[in-house]
Amino acid sequence: MSQPDQGGARPRPQFGEYATAEEQRRRIQQPDATWALESGRQAVAEPAPMADAPPPGPPTPEAEDDPARSEQTRRRRFVDRVITMGLLVYGLINVVSSIPLFTDYGAYAETLFDMMGIDAALSDPEGARIWGLAAAIVLGLGWLLTAVTSWASLRRGRASWWIPLVGALVFSFASGILLTVPLFQDPAVWDVLVSGASG
């Protein structure tokens, strides 16, 4: 109990009887029941914000246009798939038609000399044949690697039309280098080439 003051005044509070409503709410973490009773409204405590959840924002244009965007993406993937497969088929036809020509290196060299307009012949057609086989293997394996890479890229939904183009450039260049080695190693062909360039 509170002890009365010596002057007969009101007793001194011992348990916070004179705390304001705001101070009491702050201490007990509850809404203002007095305000709710006076106003006739239900007192609802504000929920504590979650630290991990971001505040909800307005809907983005991407979310509103989702069906149109997905249809456009579907069309783009279809066109990319058609172009990629078309380039792979065209590359396969070239590889299949080139391999027999490369393996018969003597006939390949004669055709090349006729196109260049020079009168030359290989000194060792059988020795040069290994280079034609190597070029054919590089071209065939290159197409296979390009096809596997393109298929994996298509399955991931990425743009893949450029992969057959790059593969064709890289492996055609590599096989072309292999095909020119016997020509520059053959002294008879080299003499004809040098004399034709100097004449």
Burial class (CB in 10 A: 0-12, 13-18, 19+), 159: middle
Question: Which one, of 112, 130, 132, 134, lies nearest residue 121 by Cα?
Answer: 112
User: Rounded to two decimals, what is the model's pTM?
Assistant: 0.60
Cα(141)–Cα(100) distance, integer angstroms: 15
pLDDT at 63: 45
Cα(72)–Cα(59) distance, integer angstroms: 21
186 CA to centre of own chain: 46
Cα(106)–Cα(179) distance, integer angstroms: 11
Residue keyed to tokens 């002294």: 187
Question: Which one, of 103, 162, 113, 98, lies nearest residue 134 by Cα?
Answer: 103
Cα(34)–Cα(196) distance, integer angstroms: 111
Q: Which of 27-41, 81-95, 110-124, 179-193 has the lowest mean pLDDT?
A: 27-41
In the predicted structure, residue 75 carries a pLDDT above the cut 70: yes
Encode pLDDT of 96-152 as tens digits: 999 998 988 888 888 888 888 888 888 888 888 999 999 999 999 999 999 999 999
Q: Which of 6-15, 46-55, 60-69, 80-89 has the lowest mean pLDDT?
A: 46-55
Q: Choose between 183 and 64: higher pLDDT.
A: 183
pLDDT mean over 161-189: 92
Burial class (CB in 10 A: 0-12, 13-18, 19+), 72: exposed
Cα(153)–Cα(168) distance, integer angstroms: 17
Cα(198)–Cα(138) distance, integer angstroms: 34
Cα(37)–Cα(130) distance, integer angstroms: 101
Q: Which of 26-35, 42-51, 121-130, 177-186 has the lowest mean pLDDT?
A: 42-51
Domain boundaries, the chain: 76-198
